[in-house]
Structures are given as C-alpha cells and as structure tokens.
Chains A and B, each alone.
Chain A
Amino acid sequence: MEGMEQWKDQLEQLKIQLEPWKIQLEQWLHQAIEYLDQIPPIQLYAAIAVLFISTLLLFSIRLFKRTKSNTIVLTGLSGSVEMLSNVILSQLITFLTLFPCQLRDGSSHQGTVTSMEPNEGTFVLNSESNKKGKIKPVHLVDVPGHSRLRPKLDEFLPQAAGIVFVVDAVEFLPSCPSVSEYLYDILTKASVVKKKIPVLICCNKSDKVTAHTKEFIRKQIEKEIEKLRASRSAISAADISNDFTLGVSGEVFSFTQCRNAVTVADASGLKGEVAQVEQFIREHVKP
C-alpha cells in the first residue's frame, strides 16, 4: 500500500512539473493552425502529394536494393571425422580477401580451433583491390559445419546472394554420406529454393595428388542424394520432413534438376588457387 501512495505522489509532482509545458504546447498548436489557414489549399494538396510520392519512391528503392545483397555464405562440414576443419575455410577467406593481412603468409597466424560462432566480415576481393572505379565489397559469412551449430545457417540464408559449400577433395569418400546429407538439407530449405540462391560446391585441396576430381565428387554426391530422396519421401509423420523435395520423380537425380544453379569448382586454399570461387562471387555480387 505504501508503495502505491509513494507512486501517486510521484505522479502528482510530475503533473505539476509538466503544467507550463502543456500551456506552451497549446499556444504553438494554435499558431500552427492559424498559419495553415493562411495558405491556399492547392499548395497544401501539392505538398502532401510530393511527400507521398517521395516516401513511395524511397520504399521502392529499399525493396529493390534488398534483393541485391552482397552476402556470401561459406559452409562445409567440420570435425575430425570429416577431416575438414575450419582452418581450410579461414584459408579460403584469407586468399579471397585482403583481411587479415598477417594471416596470408601463414607465419604469424597461430592456428585455429573448432569454431563456436560464425565468422563474418565485409571484404574487398583480393584481385580487385588495386582496381579503380566502383568496387562493391563482399560480405562473407563462414558458418561452422558442426551439427550443433547448423540452426545458425537459417539466420544467414535469407540474405545470401550465394552459398559456397566447401568439400574436402582428399578425404572425400569416407565423409560422402554426411556431406551429401548436409548439402541435401541446404538444397531443400525453403529460403534457398524460393529465392533460387546459387550454390557452388567447392572441392578444396585440389592441389594434392590424391585429391578426387570435381566430376567424380559431383557424381558421388548426386548418387548419395538419390538415396536420400528415397528415404525422405515423407509418407508418414515419422519421416524426416524437409520443406521441399529435390529432383523429378521417376528420374535419376542430377544437379541440373535443381531450381537454383548448382555448380562445382576446384580450389586450393593452401596455394591460393581460388579463381573459380572468385568468379562465382563476382557473378552473384555485381559491383
């Protein structure tokens, strides 16, 4: 009860304090109305129309711009079993961009551990850093592939202009089922299918002798996805449900059946051979 009374007192005091303001405000309002009466109505209508049109224009520009995002999502599996650690991803980012400079020679960089959070940053592509004219920087997001962190991907996909899916070309075969499952989950996400976000499967470590070719990797993933299509037919509530299904029923799956463009490229993060990835990013993030 005491608190209530105290509160009431406070309110009373506030009211007294606000009294002069109130009078001032009323005076201003009065003046404004008088001023308005002096202006001819046609001018008033014109002013309102101009205001209306300009807001509309602003909004439409906003909407138009939003479809052209500059976000590229980098992802891939992580973990010792899959033998693709985030080291590779960070190397890729390093070679694609100028940041962080010290990392590029590798000498002063202390190594990495398993990521707990996505890394992101806006960069100017390395090859274009000394080009003149207008350059649009690229917003790169590296989402860890650890299965516990996969829900994070959903936060970034709606704004993505493209997805770079990194695969280890050397240790590919043992990890093929889990890699394909992760890719399947990405390709069937509503945000990816509806906006037709292009996907680049980037076969990293292609400089190694034992690396598989990108054609081989593409075929293996297609085969594996064909199996997943059978197991995810969703005929009962006990099946795993995805937002969309992949491919055409009755036909063997291939990436050409996807509504969004899925391409395969070679890359070597260690040697800095990332021309194809750069090209992909340039295609989808127009300067």
Chain B
Amino acid sequence: MLEQLLIFTRGGLILWTCKELGNALKGSPIDTLIRSCLLEERSGAASYNYDAPGASYTLKWTFHNELGLVFVAVYQRILHLLYVDDLLALVRREFSEIYDPKRTVYNDFDETFRQLRMEAEARAEELKKSKQMVKPVNNSKKQGQAQKAGFDKGNKKREGSSAAGATKKGWFSSMFQSIAGKANLEKGDLEPALKALKDRLMTKNVAEEIAEKLCESVAASLEGKKLASFTRVSSTVQAAMEEALVRILTPRRSIDILRDVHAAKEQRKPYVVVFVGVNGVGKSTNLAKVAYWLLQHNVSVMMAACDTFRSGAVEQLRTHARRLHIPIFEKGYEKDPAIVAKEAIQEATRNGSDVVLVDTAGRMQDNEPLMRALSKLIYLNNPDLVLFVGEALVGNDAVDQLSKFNQKLADLSTSSTPRLIDGILLTKFDTIDDKVGAALSMVYISGAPVMFVGCGQSYTDLKKLNVKSIVKTLLK
C-alpha cells in the first residue's frame, strides 16, 4: 500500500497530503530525501531508499517545474508498487489545473485523488493479469493503455508525452522562438544541449557516470519550464548546470580546520588527522605541506609514521620532519599501524602537541586486508578528520576509489555508526591545466568537501579550492 503522498512547493510549504492514508511516517523521509537526494543533484534517479529504525521506505517523486511544485510518493520497500509512477503523473496533471499560488489549502483535491488512485490501481491490476497471460506483448499493451487513459480525460492536455516531436525547424522559426520565448521545454528540446554539455564535462575529465547523472538531474529540473525571451535552450541549460555545480562544490560542512584545532586545544586534546588514499598520490608530501601550513599559524604539530608496510616510508617522513623541525613518532616497520597511531596520540597528549598528522600506507581500494587494517585504525583512534588524498589526474577511477573507500570503511567497521571520509585533499593540481573534473567527481560521489589543493613541489604549494573558478573552467 501507498504510505503517503505529498505535494509541496520548492519553497518548502506543504500544499496537500493524503489524509485518507494518514499513516504517520517513521523518521523524516521527506526531509532526508530533499537533503541527500534532491539538493545533491541526484533528482534524475528513479527512486530513493530511506532507512530508519523500524521503517524502510521507497520514495518516488516528480516535479512540475513551471509551477515549482514537487510531488512525492512514499511506500514500503517490500511492496513493489507498479502504479506509483503512473499515479504521480496523473496527480501532477490534475493538480496543476487547480493550483493557485495564493491558495494554501486544497481540500477539494481529496475526491479527485481517490478517483485517480483507483484508476491507477485498476490499471496496474489489469497489467498484472495481462502479464501472466501473454508475456511478450505486455510492453505495447502498457503503452496503449496509457494512451487510452490520456484520451479518457477528454480535452485536458497531457504534458511531456510528445517528446518525439523534436523535428528540424527552419532558421526563421527558431529565431522567432528565441525572441518570443518558447511555450514549455520538453525533453526532446533539452537533449541536444545536454549531450553537448555532457561531452564538454567529460573532456574536462569528469567521470562519465557523474556527468550522466548531473545531466539527468538538470533535465529533471528544467523539463516543463518556460524558456525566457531572448534566450536559447543551450544557454538556459548551461545556467542551470552552473547553478547545480556551484551547489555541489559548496562545502556542506565547515572546512575551517584551524578553528576546530583551537576548539580541541581548549579541551586539552590533540586534533588528529588521518591521511588515507591509494598508492603514490602524494600522501606524505601533502602531509608535510599541511604540517608547514599549521606551523605558520603557530600550532604545534607532531607526525605519526603509521605506514609500516612500504619500505622507506618512515625514512621519507623523517626527512620531512627534520626539515620542518617537528617531532615524529615512529615505531619502525612490521607493527600494527592502529597501535602505532594510538601510542602517537598518547605521546602527543603528554607533550602537549596540538595536532597529530597520521600518515598511512597507500592501498588500492580492492585490497581487503589493508582496507581492514585502515578501518581498524580509524575505529580505534576516532580521529577528528579523515582526509582522503586523491590525484587530480584521475578520471573515471575517482568514482571507484572514493565509493570503495567509503564502502569498505563502513562495511569493515565494527561500530554501528562508521566513520567515513570527512574531506578531500586534491594533489598534483598544477599538472592538469583545465582538466579539473576530478574535483567534481570526488565531491559528488562522497559529499565531502575539498579541504586543500596541492599544487607544486614546495611546502608552500597548498591552496584552498576556488569554487567559482572551478565551475568556470568546467563550463568553458
């Protein structure tokens, strides 16, 4: 059964809920949907799964972009309700007829909804039967039925169904359209512009999967919208994409490490940063850069050499420590890195260091034993910041690296609330010219902000990410 159906504005005001269903939802699936799906540019996806203690819902949604409305249906995950998409489309069509921005109560919609629901349920039932009887024809039958329903409603127009009508038009009519403003954007109008934009993003080294998802999300937010006069479809799409990119790259959490360091200092606790990442991305080098940056701000730093796996790693870190005149905690090789880190933190508490920078061994995301060791290190020491060090050179692999790291940290952790990656440090940023796509891929997939950008060989080559210039480069 359907748990709930809501209609609300993009501004956040609920216009109508189904009182008949009236089940109190467990947790807050709607707010979670908005925060972790719609605002994260994942609205192109088909559905969203929400888990809370005692509840597992699936949510489906559709937009009416011209009026700025959102329609969300919630149902239990174990039930595969076939009619939800259909019902949402019907509700959208009917509701947009009676919508008035000045009105906030729509009690008269109850009756309409009851009818629509019965209609949709009956159709799903019929579909099920016909599926059992003749399997191969069911697809065409479904289409036929959908069309029939459209005609049943008589003179009411059915939106978005004529996407196939994207034909070639003369230059004069297209110019006239750009001056007068087009009635409503349809999927067919958006497709060429989105395809071009996707290709452009991919030449900037954005992972293909992510470029695809972003374009879907932008399409979902534009479909049905009115094109303003004197604008082209491509520039509208570009503006929407720019807004989406700025939104993604804007950090969700505070990236002010220094303030957190000072807060930890007040509690007489060292601030612990763990650097993780795959092999050869520059973990140790950038750890040294961060140490130098902290020293500039009069913060006492200690390094912990927890790369007990690769030969020469401890010596490399020791060289950095000597050059920067900061203490280093080391226990040689063949030790459990989790224990070394724990001892290092104890040592830092004793000698009053403000920050402990923990260097770990580079590991491929598929290396099970090493990933388990990392998970143990993080679980045992509960660091304040888990910094993922990633190369800016990486393309499609960025998605795999970050999602697997996050996945493994969650899976292998023994606690119920696993620590995931808090921030990203992008290295080798000076070598990529305008191919800045890795920054976008990594932030999109993990939701963690880019804390620093490494852009050179010397200790001073550490920067903050400039969101505006990245977005500009991506869309150039």
Say yes or no: B262 contacts A80, CB within 8 Å: no
Taken residue by residue from 277 to 306, chain B's Cβ proximity to chain A (1 for < 8 Å, 0 otherwise) reads as 000000000000100010011000000000
Interface residues of A in 128-171 (CB under 8 A from B): 142, 144, 146-151
Say yes or no: A236 contacts B296, CB within 8 Å: yes
Interface residues of B in 232-267 (CB under 8 A from A): 246-248, 250-256, 258-259, 261-263
Interface residues of A in 39-71 (CB under 8 A from B): none
Say yes or no: B250 contacts A147, CB within 8 Å: yes
A114 vs B14: C-alpha distance when bound (angstroms): 10
Tell me how far the C-beta of B412 lies from the nearest C-beta in chain A, rounded to whole angstroms: 27
Taken residue by residue from 438 to 460, chain B's Cβ proximity to chain A (1 for < 8 Å, 0 otherwise) reads as 00000000000000100000001
B105: contacting residue among A108, A115, A239, A241, CB under 8 A: A108
Interface centre among B6, B8, B17, B30 (most CB of A within 10 A): B8
Answer whether residue A195 sits at the interface, using C-beta atoms and an 8 A cutoff. no
Say yes or no: A111 contacts B262, CB within 8 Å: no
Given A231-B259, A232-B256, A238-B464: A116 and B13 interface contact (C-beta under 8 Å): no
Interface residues of A in 176-224 (CB under 8 A from B): 177-178, 181
By a CB distance below 8 angstroms, the chain A residues around B463 are: 237-238
Interface centre among A86, A108, A114 (most CB of B within 10 A): A114
Tell me how far the C-beta of B451 lies from the nearest C-beta in chain A, rounded to whole angstroms: 9
A115 vs B254: C-alpha distance when bound (angstroms): 21
Say yes or no: B255 contacts A119, CB within 8 Å: no
A230 vs B258: C-alpha distance when bound (angstroms): 8
Answer whether residue A235 sits at the interface, using C-beta atoms and an 8 A cutoff. yes
Tell me how far the C-beta of A228 lies from the nearest C-beta in chain B, rounded to whole angstroms: 6
Tell me how far the C-beta of B103 lies from the nearest C-beta in chain A, rounded to whole angstroms: 8
Answer whether residue A109 sits at the interface, using C-beta atoms and an 8 A cutoff. yes
By a CB distance below 8 angstroms, the chain B residues around A247 are: none
By a CB distance below 8 angstroms, the chain A residues around B253 are: 147
Chain B interface residue count, Cβ-Cβ cutoff 8 angstroms: 47
Answer whether residue B40 sits at the interface, using C-beta atoms and an 8 A cutoff. yes
Chain A interface bracket (under 10, 10 to 19, 20 to 34, 35 or more): 35 or more
A181 vs B256: C-alpha distance when bound (angstroms): 9
Answer whether residue B373 sits at the interface, using C-beta atoms and an 8 A cutoff. no
Taken residue by residue from 333 to 344, chain B's Cβ proximity to chain A (1 for < 8 Å, 0 otherwise) reads as 000000000000
B104: contacting residue among A80, A109, A235, CB under 8 A: A109
Answer whether residue B156 sits at the interface, using C-beta atoms and an 8 A cutoff. no
A110: contacting residue among B15, B247, B254, B261, CB under 8 A: B15
Answer whether residue B309 sits at the interface, using C-beta atoms and an 8 A cutoff. no
Answer whether residue B68 sits at the interface, using C-beta atoms and an 8 A cutoff. yes
Answer whether residue A117 sits at the interface, using C-beta atoms and an 8 A cutoff. yes
By a CB distance below 8 angstroms, the chain A residues around B17 are: 110
Answer whether residue A23 sits at the interface, using C-beta atoms and an 8 A cutoff. no
By a CB distance below 8 angstroms, the chain A residues around B246 are: 151
By a CB distance below 8 angstroms, the chain B residues around A124 are: none
By a CB distance below 8 angstroms, the chain B residues around A276 are: none
By a CB distance below 8 angstroms, the chain B residues around A90 are: 12-13
By a CB distance below 8 angstroms, the chain A residues around B250 are: 147-148, 150-151
Tell me how far the C-beta of A103 lies from the nearest C-beta in chain B, rounded to whole angstroms: 6
Interface centre among B248, B255, B297 (most CB of A within 10 A): B297
Report A's interface with B, CB cutoff 8 A. 79-80, 86, 90, 100, 102-103, 108-119, 142, 144, 146-151, 177-178, 181, 227-228, 230-233, 235-241
Report, nearest first, the 5 A-B pairs whose CB atoms are least far apart.
A231-B258, A115-B12, A119-B11, A110-B14, A117-B10
